[in-house]
Structures are given as C-alpha cells and as structure tokens.
Amino acid sequence: MIAPSLALGLRAIRLTLRRPQFLIPLFLMPSIFLAVNTGGLAATTRLPGFPPTTNFLSFQLPAAMVQSLMLSGLQAGIAVALEIESGFFDRLITAPVPRLAIVAGRLIAAAALGAIQVAFFVVGGLLFGAQIAGGILGVLLVIVLGSLAATAFAAIGMAIAFRARQASVVQGMFPFVFAVLYLSSAFFPRKLLSSPADSISALNPLSYIADGLRTPIAFGLHGAPIVEGFAVTFGVIAVASLLAVAGLRWRLADAA
Amino acid sequence: MALDCLGVPPHAIVTTGLEKRYPRGGTYAVRGVDLAVEEGEVYGFLGPNGAGKSTTVRLLVTLLRPTAGTAFVAGHDVVKDPAAVRASIGVALQDAAIDPLMTGRELLRLQSVLHGLGRREVGPRSDLLLDRVGLAEAGDKRVGEYSGGMRRRLDLAMALIHEPSVLFLDEPTTGLDPSSRLLLWNEVRRLRDQGTTVFLTTQYLEEADQLADRVGIISGGSIVAEDTPEALKAEVGRPHVHVSLADPADLARALEVAASVGRPTPGVTLECLDVSVEDGARELPALVRVLDDAGIAVAGMSVVRPTLDDVFLQKTGEHLADTDEVPA
C-alpha cells in the first residue's frame, strides 16, 4: 500500500511540475489578487471592527494561500478526470495495486505541493513587507495547515472527478471556487461581512481554514483559531476522503 | 507441453457462457463465449470492429464484470478473485494510455512498483525491457516525443515488467507502420517460445495467420469458428491453381486435360480456368506438364489458397474487411 501510494504521488508531482499551464496559475492568479487587494483595499484596516494586524498584506496572505490551494484541488480533480478519459485509469486498475493507493497517491502529491505553495506565499509576502507575527513556529504551523488544507481540497476535487469522469465538467467548477472564497472570511473579517454573507461564512469551513492560516501570520500564536483551523481541516479531509473513496468505488462499479 | 493429471493440457484462460449485456438498451456485447486457451498458446481473437473482441478482453482482465457465465484466467476466477487475476496478467489495451510528459524509463519504474517488484529488480528489469523493445536509447526521452510504434512497444514493455504468465494484447498493431508491426510480431513469437500465453485480438487476417496457434473468429458477440488457421482454411475449401491461357480458343481442351491433375472449372473470363487441387505447390508441375504436352500455351499461373477472410465470409456472410463497425 505504501510503495504504490508513494510512487503514484511522485508521478502526480512530476506531472504537475511538467505542466506549466497547470502550475503557473496556482501562483500567478492568487498573486494578482493579492497585489490588487493590498494595493486598493488597505484602507479597510481603518474600518471599525477590523482586527488589529501587523499590516494588510499579512492579513491578505492567507486569502492568496487558500485561493491557490483550492485551485490546486480543482486541478487534482482535472488530472484524475484526464486519467479516466485517456485510459490511464484502466491501466492502474488492471495492476494489482490496492484501490486506496489510487486516492492516497494523489493526496500525498497534494500535500507536498500544498506545502510548496504556502511556502511560496510566505517568502513572497516577507519580500514585499509582510510580517509573520507567530515567528518561525508560526511559519511552520502555516505550512503544515496549508499542506493539510491542500489534501482536503484535492480529496474534494477527486470526489467530483470520479463522478464527473470528464475534465471539462471538473473545470466547470472553477466559478464555484470563487463563490466559496468570497462567502468565507478569506478576504475580510467575518464580522465586517454584510448579511447573508456573514451567516454563510460562519458555516463555511473555508473561513476556519483561512482564519487558522491567518492567525499565526497576522495576529500571533493565539490558540483558538489555530486549533479550530486544524480541527476543521481534519474534518474536511475525513469527509472529502470518504467521498473520494466512495466516488472511486462508484466509478469502478459503474465502469464494470 | 505438460499435461495435467487427467491428461489434458493445462489452460490459461477458460470461459463458459461468458456474457456481457448492457442494461441500457439490453444489447449484448458478448454472448455465450466459450474459450479454452492452453498455457503457452498464442490465441488470436479475430473479428471486425464492434464484434466483441475488446469487451471480451475487458471481461478477462477484470475491467468489466460479466452479466452471465464464468471466466478463469491463470486459474483464478475473474469475479471472485480479481486481485489474483491482476497479479498474473499483463495488459496492453487498444489505446496505449501512456503519459506523454513522463519518460519511458519513469513509466516502467512506476509499473514495476505497481506490480510489487523490489527496488533492486526495478532498474535492471526496466533496462532489459527497454533494450528488448528497441527503446534503450529513447528510454530517457518523454513519451510525447515517441512515434505511435514506439508507444506501442513501450506499452508492451510495461505489460511485461512483472513477467506475467498470461499476456493480453488488444489490437497491438492497429495503425502501426510495417516495421513496427514486424517488431511486435517478433516479440510475440519470442514470448510464445518462452511459454507465455498470449491472447491477441486483431482485425488483421495476416496477423492472426502469422502469429496465432489457434484462432477464434468472433462476430456479433459470439464465436463463430475456432481452430488452427490451417484447419479453418481447410474447412472452407481446397487451394486451386488459377491458369491464364494465351489463346481463349484452348479453354475447352485445357479443361479436358487439367482433369487428370485436379478438378477444373471455367474462370470468370474466357481465357481463364481454375483447377481445384489437394495442395497447390505439389500439383503445379504436373499441371504445367499436361498443358504443355497438349500444346496449350499458358500466359500465367498462380496457386490461390483459402484465407481467413474466406472463413469469415463462410461463417458470417460478410468479408472481414467490409464489415462496418457495430455499436457494442
């Protein structure tokens, strides 16, 4: 189980790194949003109720991170759908490989790439004046939580791909990524969102993941949001992984 | 060939009443297929597009579940013990689904791990197979740079990485140039010599004729004929010698003297006759002699043997080359 999972994970990482059309948007698009938001909306920190932060770039960095991680999850789904379309999936399932390794390999790759994505935004943020309130430990927490969040989003992408079977259908979920992002506290504090976005964001798991990433960067090592962030991320991983495995089983049964 | 305790050759593939019926529309892709492929045999599964060849392969390699009947591959039930089947087989499906962004060597290493080969075996085995399929120099190039023939050869190498006892090749040479086809044929022959059972689907008559120890002809999801290529062709009819006369006026006399060698019939044109014979090559000199003795000038002569297409025509009423694709 471990060897094929690692081998499939390594393959997924290789293929992502060799597809610039997949890789570049993960870094470029959130960077553009980050530049636009920090350039044009920095004055929002003076709004009553905006939490005291080291600076607005530090506050916005987690938004870029979750945006990048969600896009990465969507791409994981597209990659799986492409494997189904191309017939590589058939090759996989005619090998004596445990079925769970097919899901686990992709999740291992997502975790590794997620850590790289988060580290990129930490380094980029520091270069452009962000401050990490939580110090080195804060950076480590952000990288670990980001890596776990990437795993959760990849599991969601896989669950969709096994059902959809077509890359174009998975790609069609792209606008949904932005809807989920804007209906969370990724860009603005939850209490500054107007109704019904504030209520929806309270129910949106992404809010807790974003706040879990934001706290060590913008506010320091304050326990509750970080613990909530990890707890919600583990919850999403568990539910999404179950959905991905169920999707795989459905796919195998449907194809047979 | 080794025999089992009952004096019967051991079988690598056995199916009984194998059937695949799709719920939507209730159409049968495969209907009542009975197979008994002996160990070490190259079995050619011949039929036009949509006849049920690929569906049969997908049933045997556990990609599809039969709706009726039983199938055993390498002694394992494809429904009850699919994992054991997968561990025993090598599969090269019709579409060589190979990542264009990975190198041949990377893909072979991945396939090795998926088949549970130890780390020490992976490198030497990959090198050996790349060399065997003529890709030693291209092994570190990305597959996107490979030609169609090179991809097929890599696909075959990947299917062989774990030295399977049964190899399934689904139309391995479709669309290949003659040299790539020949290379694959030679590899299949080498595998047979090593004792690997090969189940080969094809729509090429020559391929089945050249490679297969036995041929099963499938049409409309059912096997319509099965035997060695020679026996199938003999069943259709004897070879004949086609004679073109220099002077059409000699036809009546030629028919008369040729009767001492075989069974002559007038040809489709006035200056031709066909002489049905036992072997063809053996009777040719005698036929030349009797025509020459009678003073009949011959413009041309050729031995015409029955082909698998004639078998297909007799069994299905259609030429293999003429059949249209039938939706599964």
Give the closest-approach CA distance of A75 to chain B in angstroms.
16
Chain A residues whose beta carbon lies within 8 Å of the beta carbon of residue B101:
14-15, 18-19
Residue numbers in chain A where pLDDT is lower than 70:
255-256
Which pLDDT belongs to residue B266?
86
3-state secondary structure chain B: CCCCCCCCCCEEEEEEEEEEECCCCCCEEEEEEEEEEECCCEEEEECCCCCCHHHHHHHHCCCCCCCEEEEEECCEECCCCHHHHHHHEEEECCCCCCCCCCEHHHHHHHHHHHCCCCHHHHHHHHHHHHHHCCCCCCCCCEHHHCCHHHHHHHHHHHHHCCCCCEEEEECCCCCCCHHHHHHHHHHHHHHHHHCCEEEEEECCHHHHHHHCCEEEEEECCEEEEEECHHHHHHHHCCCEEEEEECCHHHHHHHHHHHCCCCEEEECCCCCEEEEECCCCCCCHHHHHHHHHHCCCCEEEEEEECCCHHHHHHHHHCCCHHHCCCCCC
Chain A residues whose beta carbon lies within 8 Å of the beta carbon of residue B86:
94-96
Residues 6+ apart with CB under 8 A from A19: B101
Which pLDDT belongs to residue B118?
83
Which pLDDT belongs to residue B323?
47
Chain B residues whose beta carbon lies within 8 Å of the beta carbon of residue A89:
97
* B91–A91 C-beta distance less than 8 A: yes
Contact of B260 with B290, CB cutoff 8 Å:
yes
Residues 6+ apart with CB under 8 A from B120: none
Which pLDDT belongs to residue B324?
40
Which pLDDT belongs to residue B9?
58
**Blockwise average pLDDT, block size 10, chain B, 328 residues:** 55 93 83 92 89 92 92 93 92 83 93 88 89 90 91 90 92 83 89 92 86 91 89 80 90 91 84 84 86 91 82 75 42
Query: Is the CB of B136 inside 8 Å of chain A's CB atoms?
Result: no
DSSP code of residue A51: P
Q: Which chain A residue shows the shortest CA-CA distance from B21?
A: A256
Which pLDDT belongs to residue B206?
84
CA gap B313, B278 in Å, rounded: 21
User: What distance lies between CA B98 and its chain's CA centroid?
Assistant: 24
Contact of A160 with A249, CB cutoff 8 Å:
no
Largest CA distance in chain A: 61
Pick from A205, A177, A182, A166: nearest CA to A77: A166
Which pLDDT belongs to residue B4?
55
Q: Mutation target for B interface from A1, A5, A11: give the one with most B CBs within 10 A.
A: A11
Give the closest-approach CA distance of B215 to chain A in angstroms.
25
Contact of B208 with B308, CB cutoff 8 Å:
yes
* A91–B63 C-beta distance less than 8 A: no
CA gap B118, B307 in Å, rounded: 47
Give the closest-approach CA distance of B34 to chain A in angstroms.
20
Q: Which chain A residue shows the shortest CA-CA distance from B158?
A: A91
Chain A residues whose beta carbon lies within 8 Å of the beta carbon of residue B160:
none
Model confidence, pTM: 0.80
Query: Is the CB of B141 inside 8 Å of chain A's CB atoms?
Result: no
* Three-class secondary structure of residue A238 per DSSP: helix
Q: Long-range contacts of range A192-200, CB-CB < 8 Å, 24 or more positions apart? A: A192/A44, A192/A47, A192/A49, A192/A50
The predicted complex's ipTM stands at 0.83
Which pLDDT belongs to residue B326?
34
Which pLDDT belongs to residue B295?
92
| Main-chain dihedrals φ then ψ at residue A96, nearest 5 degrees | -80, 55
DSSP code of residue A9: H
